[in-house]
Amino acid sequence: MAFEWFKKVKDKVVEAISETPVVDTSLHTDAPVAPASETIAAPEPPVATEPEPLVEIETAVETEEELLEEIEEAIEAEPEPEVVPEPEPERQLEVGQRSFASRIRSLFSGIQFDPANLDDLEDILLLADFGVDASEAIVAEVKRLASVVNAKTERELKNILISVLTNSLELPGRELNLAGEKLPYVFLMVGVNGVGKTTTIGKLASWLAEGDWEVVIGAADTFRAAAVEQVATWAKRAGAKLVGPEREGQDPASVAFTAVETAVADKADIVIVDTAGRLQNKFDLMQELSKIRRVVEKTVPVSEVLLVIDATTGQNGLLQAKAFAEVAQVTGVVLTKVDGTAKGGIVYSIQKELGIPVKLIGFGEGINDFAFFEADEFARGLVG
């Protein structure tokens, strides 16, 4: 009974306490006290939260091994820098140079080169088409050098002559122009009939094929039916693709244009365009060659205009070179049939008077009888 009474008393005390308003003045001592008639809601009990785990603070001191490991991890985590590819180098003509000195007829075949009388050398040079001024200058230089080194033997004099001729025949810009960025490169072949133009086209195409260059030949000499047949024969031997006229007498410029378009479609490297070889009327020739160039350059620029000259024609070859240089913007000379004559002086005359380098030479009828001109080797072939 005593227990039940005690419990009732406790319940009344708790009930009384809960109904009595309580003012918290611990933080606001000056705050007004709420009237007794107003009831202030009891604060919500705090929600118990789990204590946050303790965070271990790393010390600033690290061992050398730990520091190196962190550096390596940071380097590995960095993205690799973008690699910019280097531009591809310009494609170069990679074909083997053939020796041709032995194929050139010597100036001194059957003639004694007498150290005691060098004046005879001037006559020999004149017969070789070096011209009067060049012959006199060459002989004077040979005499001077022979005196300086006290040359006495024929071999010594010939070596001096080779050196002087090499310097006289040297001219920059002998390389074929293959420096443009846009393919195909276009070569226009010009020259009078009978100088070996068609043969040169076949040899050049074969030479280029040795360096894995894809070649298209345009048979634009539509004035002569035989010209198309001849160049077709050489194209087949050289392994080049031929683009000829679709009908007899077709406009040469249209054939040249089709050849270039074919090369572009086939992704070929070089187009060699054969042209008419008549010089009877320079005005007509100029109009034709100008039109071919104009039409071709709607697609790609013309890289070379190569004039083919027969070395056996002597000074007449110089006249041809002058005529074509006036109308065709010639960039280089191809000297053919150098094995049939010792008239190598035409090389000097053309280069001296026109400033056009001799770039190529032909010395036979075989498809491999062809080489790039080298002044030193040419001089050695002439002197023997």
For 158-210, the pLDDT digits (tens) are: 999 999 999 988 888 888 988 777 889 999 999 988 889 999 999 999 989 88
Dihedral of the CA atoms 60, 66, 68, 69 (nearest 10)? -120
For 329-364, the pLDDT digits (tens) are: 899 999 998 876 667 788 888 888 888 999 999 888
Instruction: Tell me the three state secondary structure of residue 242.
Output: strand
Placement of tokens 């160049």 in the chain? 231
What average pLDDT does this structure show over 99-124? 75
What is the residue extent of each domain of the chain? 100-384
Helices (H), 211-303: 225-238, 252-266, 282-296
Domain 100-384 superfamily per CATH? P-loop containing nucleotide triphosphate hydrolases (3.40.50.300)
For 362-382, the pLDDT digits (tens) are: 888 888 888 899 999 889 888
Average pLDDT score over the chain: 78
| DSSP one-letter string for 28-60 | -TTSPPPPTTS-PPPPPPPPP-PPPPPPPPPPS
Contact 218, 304 (CB under 8 A): no
pLDDT at 19 over 70: no
Instruction: Tell me the three state secondary structure of residue 115.
Output: coil
What average pLDDT does this structure show over 74-85? 56
Report the number of secondary-structure helices (H) and strands (E) in the chain. Answer: 12, 8
Q: What does the pLDDT read at residue 47?
A: 56
* Burial label, 143 (beta-carbon count in 10 A; 0-12, 13-18, 19+): middle
Contact 300, 184 (CB under 8 A): yes
Q: What does the pLDDT read at residue 264?
A: 96
What average pLDDT does this structure show over 251-265? 96
Contact 377, 160 (CB under 8 A): no
